[in-house]
Copies of this chain bind each other. A is one copy, B any other.
Amino acid sequence: QSAGSVRSFISPFPASSPTPPICQEMHRLQSIAARSLMAGALEPSRNGKAREKTLTMETLNPQVKAVEYAVRGPIVIKAGEIERILQEGGKKPFTEVIKANIGDAHAMGQQPITFLRQVVALCTFPELLDSPSFPEDAKRRAQRILQGCGGRSLGSYSASQGVDCIRQDIAAYIEQRDQGVPSNWENIFLTTGASDGIVSILRLLVSGEGRARTGVMIPIPQYPLYSAAIAELGAVQVNYYLDEDNCWALDVHELHRAYQAAKQHCQPRVLCIINPGNPTGQVQSKKCIEDVLHFAYEENLFVMADEVYQENVYAPDCEFHSFKKVLYEMGPEYFNSVELASFHSTSKGYTGECGFRGGFMEIVNLDPEVKAQLVKLLSVRLCPPVAGQAAMDVIVNPPQPDEPSFAQFHKEKASVLGALADKAKLTEQILSAVPGIKCNPVQGAMYAFPQIFIPPRAVEEAKALGMQPDMLYCLRLLEETGICVVPGSGFGQREGTYHFRYGSIFFACNYLVILIKREFH
């Protein structure tokens, strides 16, 4: 029954749906800030002639203009407007906007891990170290972190690379995760979320002009941080396509094709991989990672492994393999040579602590002088938020079996990961049952990226409106159902195919609630 009702309202362009004047709407949304109270671009001057603004769309940094970031784009602005209308008592065919545009677990009601919050609260307000209501293991963690902070305060700047003892804990965690592969804590850098690390490394790598300009290979579909950073840095985006028919697997032949094609007009120097995949949810096999690393070795590419979903693997036949571990197992020739940066975050996994902006990167085989340059670059922004660093420390240094918080911590962790796995399965099942939608299994991460088959007439309609067909679809889905998803065009997709990214973390809770509301109100 529930699959049937889903079908009734998210099947692409049912014949009955009217066509709103949606083109003007898009333009309106794109310059939405016009609603502010500020005056226009021209002001009268004392001598009668208009005084021009210094900063206009004409004088704006063109690389900023080139940036696109769909995850918080026009659809999300529209969703915010509808939310305000509902709050003010306005009527819509639904009672709540479901923001499935972003992987923000707490916003959808996931509870924080108690131990993590206890440690951060103790660090924030050390008077609580005397409180009997906090467990001893949380206090030990907090005391250790504070000892690593200047003045024993979260309020001091840390070293630009992060607090030393947290870097050491991260290295120990990586060694354990990778079953003994050595990790040197001086190669660990705390970051402001993983995004900060990814942009910092890309920043180092962009150089050259014309055909010598740095090309950055990214998967398509991709998480749009990559295309945004590439545009802003003026690098060349080199697309390699994931194989949708093969559960979004990465095919090394496609890497070769993309590399050779790109060499005609730029110098590909960086290979970005997202594993588990965002927005595609696939988990790479060990064999596939070996192939990728071999390719990077041969072609002298710097590898950036976005592994923020490393704890989010649901499919029983899949397992997370870190790029670093696979590189190690390929032998010292590879392990001592391929330049690899890998990224992690407090925002995903089972903690979902996005707001703390915690994260780290491990960088191996970086040229020592370049490493000094990286430290210098990070120093300009002083340090990552220290509370986020403390949150990261809990993730890499969780309660041990002999500690008082062990049982509760693992219960909470298992509960979150279990719910995420259930929702991933349900997402795939429900979406696959809708005619006109095809959905690969969600093996990991937090999203499905289903293909939608949009009828040719609707495609033409969208094109006549100067809009991507999947953007039109998502706008209409939002207006009719209150469900906010991001169109595939924001992530990239093969020409002529259409998708959307759906945060699978929303299923089985609010999503189904909405269904029920719709069917019965």
Contacts and interface: CB of A to CB of B under 8 A. Distances in A.
A145 to B, nearest CB: 11
A199 B203 CA distance: 14
B228 A380 contact: yes
A342 interface: no
A89 interface: no
Interface in A431-448: none
A62 interface: yes
Interface residues of A, number: 122
Contact of A207 (B51, B59, B133, B300): B59
> Copy number in this complex?
2
A34 B373 CA distance: 11
B67 A377 contact: yes
A107 B379 contact: no
A33 interface: yes
Residue of A52, A199, A228 with highest tally of chain B CB at under 10 A: A228
Of A71, A224, A368, most buried by chain B (CB within 10 Å of CB) is A368
A120 B387 CA distance: 10
A65 interface: yes
B354 A382 contact: yes
Contacts of A199: 381
A386 interface: yes
A107 B33 contact: no
A379 B72 contact: yes
B65 A373 contact: yes
A383 interface: yes
A106 B69 contact: no
Contact of A373 (B46, B64, B352, B368): B64
Interface of A: 30-34, 36-41, 43-46, 51-57, 59-62, 64-65, 67-69, 71-73, 102, 104-110, 112, 117-118, 120-121, 124-125, 128, 131, 133, 149-151, 153-158, 160, 184, 186-187, 192-193, 195-196, 199, 203-208, 224-225, 228-229, 232, 269-270, 297, 300-302, 333, 336-337, 339, 347, 351-357, 364-373, 375-377, 379-388
